[in-house]
Amino acid sequence: MAKKKVFKKSKQVNQPAQDEENGLPMNFVEIGEHAAEGKGIYIAQPVYKAIHKFTRGKTTNESGGLLVGEVVEEFGKMNILVNGFIEAKYCEATPTTLKFTHETWEFCHKEIAKKYPSQKIVGWIHTHPDYGIFLSEYDKFIQNNFFKEDYQIAYVIDPIQGSEGIYYNSNGKLEKSHSFYIFDKIGAKINFSEQQSKTAEAFSFSPKDIVIAALVVVVIFLTFFVGGLRSRITILEHNLKQMESNTTQLYQMVLYLHQNVEQLSETGNRTTSSTGTEENPENPENVNN
């Protein structure tokens, strides 16, 4: 009797949603305001959806997880590709803090080895339930001690306000990114959901904001211009006073010279007159009768 063949199901490993290995995605949508930043941040569409599905109901305490992916150096800058998300289980959480325990790290490393063996940790994600997008001092401590590599980011989501932001390391400082990219394989449609619309609004500027910013620039320019004009007027006033002083001195010198000339002229006349009386014997008034 022939033995029945048994087919073992191979272990499924999550693959990055990109078309070229070790290259940047070619199918992507930018969220936010385009800016020439030092780092490009790309999040795979399935990962982006998984993250927001995970954070949707986390409205009481903070929650979070790890981001895994790869780094691509292209176009003269570092590009961070987020290809996976691991929920940080066994955390100690409060409404304002999130602590990764030893059990959390152990669980996450096992999940990464199983699902993303070729990927590395490129950052972390955590929620701020209804208190906005920023990095608290505690968040900065976690970033600087556990995610301090140049390619590791901090992704913050407020599931109640519907806003999000990404921070990255830049020359020893944490800076907020102006934008990021959602990507997928070529041919896959990237859905611009309501959540993404809110994110785009959070990352972009309205026409009113642009007008206000332009007015601020004009005010700053006028402030510097008026300040420079006042400085020039002060210098001109000083130079004018100096010229007046020099003119007064010159006028006094001219008067002094004029007086000397008059004195010399009078002295010369007296000398001439006196000499003519004594040395002119033909003068009738001096001839003895």
Domain extents in the chain: 27-204, 205-266
pLDDT digits (tens, 9 = 90+) for 185-224: 999 999 865 555 555 555 544 444 445 555 645 655 565 5
3-class SS shares of the chain: helix, strand, coil, % to 5: 40, 25, 35
State how far the Cα of 117 lies from the Cα of 111, in Å rounded to an integer: 9
pLDDT of residue 227: 59
Surface-to-core class of residue 11, CB atoms within 10 Å of its CB (0-12 exposed, 13-18 middle, 19+ buried): exposed
- Token look-up 């001839």 returns 287
Report the pLDDT value the prediction gives residue 275, as an integer from 0 to 100. 57
Alpha carbons 146 and 152: distance in angstroms, whole number = 9
Query: CB burial class (10 A; 0-12, 13-18, 19+) of residue 216?
Result: exposed
> Which residues in the chain belong to E strands, given as ranges?
27-32, 39-44, 64-74, 77-87, 92-93, 98-99, 120-127, 153-158, 163-170, 173-176, 179-184
Q: Average pLDDT by consecutive 10-residue portion of the chain (289 residues)?
A: 41 50 85 80 97 94 97 92 97 95 97 96 97 95 95 97 94 91 94 58 48 54 62 76 75 76 75 55 49
- In Å, the largest CA–CA distance within the chain is 189
- Collapsing DSSP states into helix, strand and coil, what is residue 144? helix
Residue whose C-alpha is closest to residue 162's, from 118, 192, 129, 184: 129
pLDDT, tens digit (0-9, with 9 covering 90-100), for 159-174? 999 999 999 998 889 9
How many Cβ atoms sit within 10 Å of the Cβ of residue 237? 10
pTM score, whole prediction: 0.64
Fold of 27-204: Cytidine Deaminase; domain 2 (3.40.140)
In angstroms, the Cα distances linking 166 to 124, 145, 178, 179 are: 10, 18, 8, 8
Find out whether 75 and 215 touch, Cβ atoms under 8 Å.
no
